[in-house]
Amino acid sequence: MSCAVGELGRHADAVAELVERAGSEIPFYAQHLRGADVAPTHFGQLPTSSKQSFGGWGHRPLGRPGEQPTHYCATSGTTGPRLLVGFSDADWERVGAQLGRRGRDVGLGSADLVANTHGYGLWIGGPALDLVARGAGAGLLPLGPGNTEQLLAWLTDLPITAISATPSFLRYLAEHIRSDSVDTSRWQLRLGLVGGEGASIEMRREVSRCLGDGFLWQELYGASEIGGPTLGWAPPTNPLSGRLLVDTDEFVVEILHPERDEPAGAGELGEVTITTPYREIDPLIRYRTRDLARSLPDVGDTSGYPSISCVVARVDDALKIRGALVYPSAIEAVIVEQCADGAEWRIVVDREPGELDTLTIVVEHDQRNADGLADHIHHRVQVRAVIHVVAPGSLPRFEGKASRLSDHR
């Protein structure tokens, strides 16, 4: 999925029109593309952009002068200042159609009732998952975050068959089920529509077991800048395969080297980069999402869509410790494998003057097995960690996006 010119395919004309319009009408792109060869045959040579690129262009960096969106959302602000994104009526209708297709793709229909626990306000999560449910013809319970006790009651009393949630909230819910011995035998829950942050395959399996033998963890992937989880979805027949199908009907997608504007090699870790050929307001041209994934070979999926790996990490999350790149997701995978179900953890990185970096893992674990856990983490990430054991249940839990990293360097 390197997106050589031939891979623009049927989007070539739309991309050419977008680049011409953006370069002449949108102040950011007028400067960003200045001096670039904007011919469609040189698409792969256009400069990439990122959220950091837009810093000097105000709250709406990609709009045309005088243009008034009819709908707004904003990025979460976890990796820098929040970016406000605008949509026209046509843009928002297109997003709704895409999200409805995602719902149908993963098996939602009129017999389902979706409990949406994603946040609302300016965050895209809540509104987008409402559109997933309604577009697929399902019923909707727009619960929002932070209503765990009410949700547990309604899972028993109402015919809820699907839940939308962040991985952290599903993990939090699973811990409640275990610690309070919740009887799930009357639940009809079968499907999780999960997104908003990464999660290791090991953690997905652990949570899915707790939520029932028939429960499927179905990842939906996207970004606020494109209208929510419109870009990718796990294959419904094998949702824990570590793959995402990518919607190349709507987007031009590249996997680029994290430090250079060139394609990552086959199977190499690269940054998911998106172009939106059909956006009227706030279009994206070769936009680096900061999400790291791998392009994957075609395995004959009947959907006909290409695959990438699930997001391994964000560029901003990669920790360089004593010369090695360490991804928190790799540490999470070891903790889920080696510690008790529901064990919480934190990662602390520090450096004293004149000393090497230190990696400390604060984890709810058995002190007698701390050395073994340190050995497993060392084997996985190639950096020796100090294990600081705390009592089970002593670390705060997350009902929204998790924040487990403190870097004091």
pLDDT digits (tens, 9 = 90+) for 39-79: 767 888 999 998 888 865 554 556 777 788 999 998 876 55
Pair (118, 213) in one structural domain? yes
Pair (328, 377) in one structural domain? yes
In a domain, 150, yes or no: yes
Regions of the chain with pLDDT less than 70: 1-7, 40, 55-62, 77-81, 299-300, 354
Pair (287, 338) in one structural domain? no
pLDDT score of 79: 55
In a domain, 139, yes or no: yes
Q: Quick check: 219 and 233 in contact, CB under 8 A?
A: yes
Pair (257, 339) in one structural domain? no
Pair (100, 243) in one structural domain? yes
Of 272, 293, 316, the domain-final residue: 316
Pair (94, 202) in one structural domain? yes
In a domain, 17, yes or no: no
Task: Give me the sign of the Cα torsion angle 232, 75, 290, 41.
Answer: positive
pLDDT score of 369: 86
Pair (200, 327) in one structural domain? no
> How many CA atoms lie within 13 Å of 299's alpha carbon, on the beta-carbon side?
12
In a domain, 225, yes or no: yes
C-alpha distance across the termini of the chain, in Å: 36
Place of tokens 């004959």: 300
Q: Which domain holds residue 392?
A: 318-407
Alpha helices, DSSP H only, in 288-402? 328-338, 370-381
Closest CA to 340 of 400, 392, 388, 408: 392
Q: Please write the tens of the pLDDT for every residue from 74-89.
A: 887 655 567 889 999 9
pLDDT score of 325: 76
Q: Please report, for the domain that includes residue 385, its CATH number.
A: 3.30.300.30
CA atoms of 135 and 108, how far apart (whole Å): 9
In a domain, 193, yes or no: yes
Residue 245 tokens, joined: 């199908």
Q: Quick check: 96 and 131 in contact, CB under 8 A?
A: yes
Pair (137, 162) in one structural domain? yes
Pair (334, 303) in one structural domain? no
Supply φ then ψ for residue 157, to 5 degrees. -90, -25
pLDDT score of 377: 92
Task: Give me the sign of the Cα torsion angle 161, 214, 216, 174.
Answer: positive
What are the E-state strand segments in 204-336?
A: 216-223, 228-233, 243-246, 252-256, 269-275, 287-294, 307-309, 313-314, 319-321, 324-326
In a domain, 50, yes or no: no
Q: Could you give the number of structural domains in the chain?
A: 2
Residue 45 tokens, joined: 């040579």
CA atoms of 349 and 406, how far apart (whole Å): 6
The contacts of residue 68 (CB under 8 Å, 6+ apart) are none
Give the C-alpha distances (Å, rounded to integers) separating 347 from 167, 331, 358: 18, 9, 10
CA atoms of 306 and 100, how far apart (whole Å): 20
